[in-house]
């Protein structure tokens, strides 16, 4: 089936189900999303102001070698259509600068804290020396600086950075501080994946809007338990974004930067994308996905093939509706987790010839990045994630800044068991290494195709137990294991792991 046939079929289906009422010439309207009708005027602008889409923008790109990232509290950023909204910003922009660095290169960044509270940046997925990792115990007060200096030893991949100020991570991240780090190396470059304008680094996030249409952050009400849930999709800081594309292959580097929302990614026309990478770089093998879940802090490196599309075609990157068995419902039973959302619309604007080769195999993971083998495990540990009353705990403990919760020998292969004893989802994240997801029992009862390869975050649904094979081979010191639901994290669902 070709792209257009697929779009047409989807279009007919949506008419048949009465899902989306579509007006206009068929060539202008294809693959209308389930969540909202696409109605374009001749100029390509949505006719309904309430659903107006805004052009996607991209972060400025910096080489992190001798730069300053200055955090400022008083700033405004355009959330689309010229609407200026208060934001917390690094270097005056939302999203935060995209840092591009080659493996083996120096990383030299000065962080300047001009926020009104303490602050620290963490390089999520990288494994720098312990005092460079952004552990909250190293947070600096308002007005102070922190110097980060290390060598990037990490595998090529999509990483990111954000605040790790204890009890403020949710606020800092939701209000605009968060950027991507793209590490490259010769091995990945040899694949000649789409680059330049064909590589789209995209930070996905949900936000809430007040009566004036401006984003706000609050932990009132159910956010205390579920985590902060937005109702509006943002991409690279733009509310309801679109992007004009050519009939070519695009590389989407996606980050779920939401505080607690899990996205179930899919294209509105049902087409598959090729997943080539996730948290720790390229997968062992590419996999075709028509839907994939992306939890807070997870990354997806996807190839979107638009070569069979026609000028005028429109395809929406959506988050599909889903339900979570065993999850606690709020607001009259409705749990905001799993709501459908239109995330980013691609508008095919130009016909070109593109001879990109979509890889059918990917290079083997080099020995230095090899994942531990569960069969070699020398020790097992259990981490129970619980949400009782108003507390989110790991092994019944709330976080304490310098308490050592587990001591793990450097270089030893261990099997860690994450047990979800609560009625919430927990995206569990480990600093300083990547792990292999070995098994999942209960809940979904299976490993997901996007959980292959080197992971630093894994999503645990209610009633699930997930086993991962872990080995620290980069650095020694006190590192974090925590839930990346930022409200859970801020409320103490973290543990200190001493690697020695
Ligand atoms: Cu993305 Cu400890 O964090
Ligand atoms: Cu991290
Ligand atoms: Cu959690």
What confidence category does residue 154 fall into, taking pLDDT thresholds of 50, 70 and 90?
Answer: very high
State mean pLDDT over 128-144: 98
Closest ligand to C-alpha of residue 427 is 3
Q: Tell me the mean pLDDT in the region 302-324.
A: 97
Give the residue whose CA is nearest to atom 3 of ligand 1. Answer: 124
Cβ neighbours of residue 155 under 8 Å, at least 6 residues apart? 103, 183, 185, 280, 281, 365, 366, 369, 454
**Average pLDDT for the chain:** 90
Asked whether residue 137 carries a pLDDT value surpassing 70, the answer given is yes
Quick one: pLDDT band at residue 39, thresholds 50, 70, 90? Answer: very low
172 lines ligand 1 (CB under 6 A): no
Alpha carbon distance 264, 6 (integer Å): 20
Say yes or no to pLDDT of 305 above 80. yes
CA of 296 to the centre of ligand 2 (A): 11
Sole residue written with tokens 């996807």: 302
**High-pLDDT (> 70) share of the chain, %:** 88
The band of 49, judged by pLDDT with boundaries at 50, 70 and 90, is very low
Q: Which helix (H) or strand (E) holds 171?
A: helix 169-174
Token duo for residue 23: 């007006």
Query: Phi/psi class of residue 104: alpha, beta or left (left: φ > 0; alpha: ψ in -120 to 50)?
Result: left
Tell me how far apart the alpha carbons of residues 241 and 252 are, in angstroms, rounded to a whole number. Answer: 15
pLDDT at 214: 96
Tokens of 239: 């509310």
3-state SS of the chain: helix, strand, coil percent to 5? 10, 40, 50
Q: Give the distance (Å) from ligand 1 centre to CA of residue 169.
A: 9
- Tens-digit pLDDT profile for residues 315-353: 999 999 999 888 876 544 446 899 999 999 999 999 999
Q: Which of ligand 1's atoms lies nearest the C-alpha of 494?
A: 2
For residue 240 and ligand 1, the question of a CB distance below 6 A is answered with no
Indicate if ligand 1 lies below 6 Å from the C-beta of 488.
Answer: no
Q: Are 480 and 135 within 8 A, CB to CB?
A: yes
In the reported structure, the alpha carbon of residue 494 is separated from the centroid of ligand 2 by a whole-number distance in angstroms of 12
Ligand 1 contact, 299 CB (< 6 A): no
Q: For ligand 1, say whether the CB of 251 is within 6 Å of any of its atoms.
A: no
Beta bridge partners of 54: 241
Res 43 pLDDT > 80: no
Q: How remote is the CA of residue 126 from the centroid of ligand 2, in Å?
A: 8
Query: How confident is the model over 186-235, as pLDDT tens digits?
Result: 999 999 999 999 999 999 999 999 999 999 999 888 888 889 999 999 99
Environment class of residue 303 by beta-carbon count within 10 Å: exposed (0-12), middle (13-18) or buried (19+)? buried
User: β-strand 61-62 against 98-102: which pairing, if any?
Assistant: parallel
* Atom number, ligand 1, closest to the C-alpha of residue 125: 1
CB < 8 Å & 24+ apart, contacts of 353-359 = 354/246, 354/247, 354/248, 354/249, 354/307, 356/192, 356/193, 356/194, 356/198, 356/248, 356/249, 357/192, 358/249, 358/274, 358/286, 358/303, 358/305, 359/191, 359/193, 359/274, 359/276, 359/286
Does the CB atom of residue 54 touch ligand 1 within 6 A? no
**pLDDT score of 477 more than 80:** yes
Q: Are 180 and 159 in contact (CB under 8 A)?
A: yes
> Contact 371/347 with Cβ under 8 angstroms?
no
Q: Pick the atom of ligand 1 nearest to 134's CA.
A: 2
Is residue 161 a contact partner of residue 178, using CB atoms and an 8 Å limit? Answer: yes
| CB under 5 Å of ion ligand 2: residues | 124, 431
Distance 497 CA to ligand 1 centre (A): 14
Q: Is the bond preceding 68 in cis, omega lying within 30 degrees of 0?
A: no
Distance from Cα 456 to the centre of ligand 1, integer Å: 9
CB 416 within 8 A of CB 467: yes
Residue with the two structure tokens 């309430």:
50
Please report the pLDDT score of residue 37 as a whole number. 38
Distance between Cα 124 and ligand 1 center (Å):
5
Q: What is the pLDDT of residues 6-23, one digit of tens each?
A: 444 443 443 333 333 333
Residue whose CA lies nearest to ligand 1 atom number 1 = 124
Burial of 180 (0-12, 13-18, 19+ CB in 10 A): buried
CA atoms within 13 A on the CB side of 352: 15
CB-ligand 1 contact for 481 (6 Å cutoff): no
∠ Cα 186 245 198 (to 5°): 5
- Which pLDDT does position 452 carry in this prediction? 98
């Amino acid at each position: 089936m070709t792209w257009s046939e697929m779009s047409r079929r989807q279009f007919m289906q949506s008419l048949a189900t009465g899902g989306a009422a579509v007006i206009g010439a068929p060539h202008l309207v294809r693959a209308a999303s389930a969540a909202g009708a696409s109605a374009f005027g001749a100029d390509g602008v949505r006719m309904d102001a309430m659903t107006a889409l805004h052009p996607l923008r991209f972060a400025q790109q910096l080489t992190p070698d001798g730069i300053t990232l200055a955090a400022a509290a008083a700033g405004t950023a355009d959330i689309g259509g010229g609407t200026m909204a208060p934001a917390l910003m690094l270097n005056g922009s939302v999203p935060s600068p995209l840092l591009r660095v080659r493996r083996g290169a120096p990383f030299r960044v000065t962080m300047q804290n001009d926020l009104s509270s303490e602050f620290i940046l963490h390089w999520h997925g990288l494994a720098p020396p312990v005092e460079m990792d952004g552990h909250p115990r190293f947070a600096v007060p308002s007005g102070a600086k922190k110097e980060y200096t290390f060598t990037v030893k990490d595998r090529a991949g999509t990483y990111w950075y954000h605040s790790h100020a204890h009890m403020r991570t949710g606020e800092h991240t939701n209000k605009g501080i968060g950027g991507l780090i793209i590490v490259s190396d010769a091995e990945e470059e040899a694949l000649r994946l789409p680059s330049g304008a064909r590589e789209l680094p995209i930070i996905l996030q949900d936000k809430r809007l007040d009566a004036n249409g401006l984003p706000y952050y609050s932990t009132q009400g159910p956010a205390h338990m579920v985590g902060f849930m937005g109702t509006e999709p943002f991409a690279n800081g733009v509310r309801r974004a679109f992007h004009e594309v050519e009939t070519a292959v695009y590389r989407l580097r996606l980050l779920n930067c939401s505080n607690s929302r899990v996205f179930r990614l899919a294209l509105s026309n049902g087409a598959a994308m090729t997943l080539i990478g996730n948290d720790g770089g390229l997968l062992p093998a590419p996999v075709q996905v028509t839907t994939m879940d992306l939890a807070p802090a997870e990354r997806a490196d996807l190839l979107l093939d638009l070569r069979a599309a026609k000028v005028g075609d429109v395809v929406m990157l959506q988050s599909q509706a889903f339900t979570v068995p065993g999850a606690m419902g709020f607001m009259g039973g409705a749990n905001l987790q799993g709501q459908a959302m239109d995330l980013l619309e691609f508008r095919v604007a130009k016909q070109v010839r593109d001879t990109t080769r979509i890889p059918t195999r990917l290079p083997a993971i080099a020995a230095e990045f090899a994942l531990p083998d569960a069969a070699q495990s020398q020790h097992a540990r259990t981490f129970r994630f619980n949400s009782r009353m108003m507390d989110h705990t790991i092994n019944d403990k709330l976080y304490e800044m310098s308490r050592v919760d587990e001591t793990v020998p450097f270089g030893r292969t261990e099997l860690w068991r994450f047990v979800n004893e609560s009625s919430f989802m927990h995206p569990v994240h480990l600093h300083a290494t990547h792990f292999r997801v070995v098994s999942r029992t209960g809940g979904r009862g299976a490993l997901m195709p996007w959980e292959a390869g080197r992971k630093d975050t894994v999503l645990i649904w209610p009633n699930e137990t997930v086993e991962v094979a872990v080995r620290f081979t980069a650095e020694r010191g006190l590192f974090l294991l925590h839930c990346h639901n930022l409200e859970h994290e801020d409320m103490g669902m973290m543990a200190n792991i001493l690697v020695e």
